Amino acid sequence: MPDYSMLKQMKGAIFDLDGVIVDTAKYHYLAWRSLASELGFDFTEADNERLKGVSRMRSLDILLEIGGLEFTEAEKLAMADKKNRLYVEYISRLGESELLPGVSSYLNRLRDNGIGIALGSASKNALFILDKLNIAGLFDAVVDGNKVSRAKPDPEVFLIASQELGLQPGECVVFEDAEAGVAAGKAAGMQVIGIGRPEVLGEADIVISGLHEL
């Protein structure tokens, strides 16, 4: 039986976005696949696994590595921008129905219990997505790709989130679905609840299949 005592003691909950709050990974994949197709190669779902929890420019580097292609920095910035426009087009149709099971009720319960709630995500579209899902008002702090310069597994995003909540890192629990995110949470000195498969998220303190379990 998992030890949930950390949840009784936490003062702040910091959530990743993709795969924890909403599954936007499929839209990222479609946008990257479309870009790869334009460049003349296939980008598979297995390839896409390498992009989870990784910044946009690093994701592009991995994509080009897979395609065996090289471009200038200026060309790469234009490609990353194009991918983002495709992605934003997809997510502009998001609605509350796409929230993952249990998210809304769990966030509301945390608020009722006076727990600080933050988002810690590499996404530069995080606020836009939270608005689309109609849950932006439940977050006390949003730390996204516009506020950080170092990608997970660097702990920067979670350390800034705890600061914005006015808490010590040890008072916060991170909710993450990616290996790099779990590593970032642990490096920040926080306890981590992994959302997904135990064989992938073995470094987390507890692994569950989704927030509905809580």
What does each of the 214 residues of the chain score in pLDDT, given as a tens digit? 677 888 999 999 999 999 999 998 889 999 999 999 999 999 999 999 888 777 889 999 999 999 999 999 999 999 999 999 999 999 998 999 999 999 999 999 999 999 999 999 988 889 999 999 999 999 999 999 899 989 899 999 999 999 999 999 999 999 999 999 999 999 999 999 999 999 999 999 999 999 999 9
Please name the residue that has the structure tokens 């959302």. Answer: 195
Sheet holding 191-195, edge to edge: 141-143, 116-120, 12-15, 172-176, 191-195, 206-208
Catalytic residue among 3, 18, 42, 205: 18
Output the CA–CA distances (angstroms, integers) from residue 208 to 11, 106, 204, in the order listed: 20, 14, 10
Catalytic residue among 3, 16, 23, 140: 16
List phi, psi (to 5°) of 119.
-105, 135
Task: Dig out the tokens for 136 from the structure.
Answer: 């932006």
Contacts of 89 (CB under 8 A, 6+ apart): none
Please name the residue that has the structure tokens 């065996």. Answer: 68
State yes or no: is 16 an active-site residue: yes
Q: What pLDDT is attached to residue 1? A: 66
Q: Which DSSP state fits 18?
A: B
Spatial CA neighbour of 90 closest among 136, 149, 22, 137: 22
State yes or no: is 47 an active-site residue: no
List of E strands, 52-189: 116-120, 141-143, 172-176
Q: What pLDDT is attached to residue 106? A: 97
Q: What pLDDT is attached to residue 212? A: 96
Long-range contacts of 190-198 (CB under 8 A, 24+ apart): 190/14, 190/158, 190/162, 191/6, 191/10, 195/19, 195/20, 196/19
